[in-house]
Chain A
């Protein structure tokens, strides 16, 4: 289809006097994965709930595949994985997923297949009450892949997952996006996200302060680049002196430069010839970019 799958246009939402979202605009194309970042209380969950039609917005307009959020047409397209996904503990995994599959017009057989896919094949006839947190989270993944979702909304989904399950989660997200789903993925796990999203949107106090590809955000932020020079024939101390950097151990020197000076600095380093053994160029990480956009006063939660 043409045009964005999710279109958020100048949307605001307040809870009593608390402003949760303030004039937020964001578009997600089919097949695109957008990471939604922001400090606790920045409005990430609120924005996702608006897109899902669970909460009405106060101002602005949201369309999901051209339909209002929460409408029958939109609901047929949704796949949602909430933070702390919960199910009824007295049902078995198979019964729970089969029930949800029926709501999407899919067969119980499809439910069993998706349970196999997330590694719950052996546990699916046990009651959910006996599941560990990671297993419940994988049950959440199983319901995500039922049907052919076109709108995938993930709210801090990897918090309870072990590294293997995380890999499985990201491969599922890639599959969904390759099948044409528009994905919004809110997270604190910055290092995980870095290589796994097409675009990054950052919310701060209810306002969208960034919305671009990581490379472009890095340029826009104009954050310093680190050059790590490994000493060759010459000692690290003397290289540090000649280049004006800081020695970080016996073998290496670190130079900090602005993006605009990078090439000039590199030329300077290579002119040293045999004195230098190797050089690493370290661009600002997503974490650095995030810190830049969320300001020094924002609290940064690291991924567990």
Chain B
């Protein structure tokens, strides 16, 4: 079974390498990371916080936007593309289950995301380290950020698989992917903020809002990384830490871990029902 997943994954990786997805994704992560690190280093110098930690805060905000985008663009075509090219029926007569096909694609694309983020963060961190003022505690924050960014990538890869299996058409899957991205990284927060403003400190704001915030995969990611920083930073965005919001400290991590699992299972469920 694992041999078959590996066979599918190896072919997918070659394709990702040749259509320059690995290159594009890595370039995006590196370029934006460096710009943020350089722009963020000026004010941090006077605050006296660890420079790497400041950079981690910037990279976390960057990742909230970029990692889901990269993951969705990688994955939306995974099944729809096979259906449109007409390669799926042949593949499904081979001794490989749909679950293994999905697993192979997930392994390959997760590798692409992990590689792009690793190189992007790595180059950024190296630049900050070279400029001085970074410490080992910042490195710990960076590692946390990296692991959670890969998990975030997994969530949106699985989301891409879901809509790819649902629509079975590349164009429809692509437009849905963009819609999901806008909702996940922008509209969800805007809607929550709007509700909080309307509610004006009522029951919603104190009881429901924190849980909704933690339930969103991108906000959970942000909370997890910003509240975990070794140095308290005055950061923008929604919420400072989970605890200050009134939800348990473990909640963001659970939310982040649950999302990819649920979405992968859902994608497998849809894919199993789709006729070739």
Q: Which residues of A contact B (CB under 8 A)?
A: 49, 52-56, 70, 72, 75-76, 78, 80, 82, 84-88, 90-91, 95-96, 99-100, 102-105, 127, 143, 153
Instruction: Give Cα A78 to B95, complex, Å.
Output: 9
A46 to chain B, nearest CB (A): 11
Which 3 pairs from chain A and chain B are nearest by CB?
A102-B7, A86-B86, A54-B276
Q: Which residues of A contact B97 (CB under 8 A)?
A: 72
B14–A91 CB distance below 8 A: yes
With a CB–CB cut-off of 8 A, which chain A residues contact B8?
A: 99, 103
Please, could you name 9 A-B residue pairs with CB atoms under 8 Å apart, sorted by A?
Answer: A54-B276, A72-B95, A75-B96, A84-B86, A88-B15, A102-B3, A103-B7, A105-B95, A153-B93
A-B contact count (CB 8 A): 73
B10 within 8 A of A: yes
Given A54-B276, A82-B89, A88 and B11 contact (CB-CB distance below 8 Å) = yes
Verify A80–B96 contact, CB threshold 8 A: no
Cβ contact within 8 Å between A103 and B90:
no
Judging by beta carbons under 8 Å apart, are B11 and A99 in contact?
A: yes
Please state if B7 and A86 are interface contacts (CB–CB under 8 Å): no
A64 to chain B, nearest CB (A): 11
Q: How far is the CA of A108 from the CA of B89 in the complex (A)?
A: 22
Whole-angstrom distance between the alpha carbons of A55 and B6 in the complex?
27
Give which listed residue, A52, A56, A86, A100, contacts B85 with CB less than 8 A. Answer: A86
Distance in angstroms between the alpha carbons of A84 and B84 in the assembled complex: 12
A102 to B95, CA, bound (A): 10
Asked if B94 CB lies within 8 Å of chain A CBs, one says yes
Interface residues on B, range: 20 to 34
Is residue B92 within 8 Å, beta carbon to beta carbon, of the partner chain?
Answer: yes
Nearest residue in A to B11 (C-beta to C-beta)? Answer: A99
Instruction: Let me know if A85 and B94 touch, CB within 8 A.
Output: no
Which residue on chain B has the smallest CB distance to residue A54?
B276
A127 vs B14: C-alpha distance when bound (angstroms): 12
Query: Which residues on the A side are within 8 Å of B10 (C-beta)?
Result: 99
Residues from chain A with Cβ under 8 Å of B206 in the complex: none
- B85: chain A residues at CB < 8 Å are 86, 88
Q: Are A91 and B15 in contact (CB under 8 A)?
A: yes
The answer to whether A104 and B87 touch across the interface, beta carbons within 8 angstroms, is no
Q: Is B4 an interface residue (CB 8 A)?
A: yes
- A52–B275 Cα distance when bound, in Å, is 12
The answer, yes or no, to whether B19 is at the interface (CB within 8 Å) is: yes
| B11 contacts A75, C-beta separation under 8 Å | no
- Bound CA–CA A91/B7 (angstroms): 13
In the bound complex, residues from chain A placing their C-beta under 8 Å from that of B86 are 82, 84-86
Choose among B87, B89, B95 the residue that contacts A103 (Cβ–Cβ < 8 A).
B95
Choice from A55, A75, A95 contacting B275 with Cβ under 8 Å: A55
A95 with B89, Cβ < 8 A, contacts A103-B7, A103-B96 known: no
- Whether the Cβ atoms of A80 and B93 lie closer than 8 Å is yes
Q: Which residues of B contact A127 (CB under 8 A)?
A: 18
Flag if B93 contacts A52 (CB, 8 Å): yes
Query: Whose C-beta in chain B lies nearest to the C-beta of A90?
Result: B18
Contacts of A75 in B (CB 8 A): 93-96
Question: A76 to B95, Cβ gap below 8 A?
Answer: yes
Q: In the complex, what residues of A have CB within 8 A of residue B18's CB?
A: 90, 127
Assembly CA distance A84 to B86 (angstroms): 8
Provide the residues of chain A in CB contact with B276, threshold 8 Å.
Answer: 49, 54-55
Give the docked Cα–Cα distance between A75 and B38 (Å): 56
Given A54-B276, A84-B86, A88-B85: A103 and B14 interface contact (C-beta under 8 Å): no
The residue in chain A whose Cβ has the minimal distance to the Cβ of B92 is: A54
Known interface pairs A86-B85, A91-B14, A143-B90; 10 further A-B residue pairs with C-beta atoms within 8 A, sorted by A's residue number:
A56-B275, A76-B95, A82-B86, A82-B90, A85-B86, A85-B90, A86-B86, A88-B87, A103-B95, A127-B18
Cα distance A87–B86 when bound, in Å? Answer: 8
CB distance from A75 to the nearest CB of B (A): 4
The chain B residue with its CB closest to the CB of A99 is B11
Q: How far in angstroms is the closest Cβ of chain A from B276?
A: 4
List, in ascending order, chain A residues with CB within 8 A of B87's CB.
86-88
**Shortest beta-carbon distance, B100 to chain A, in Å?**
9
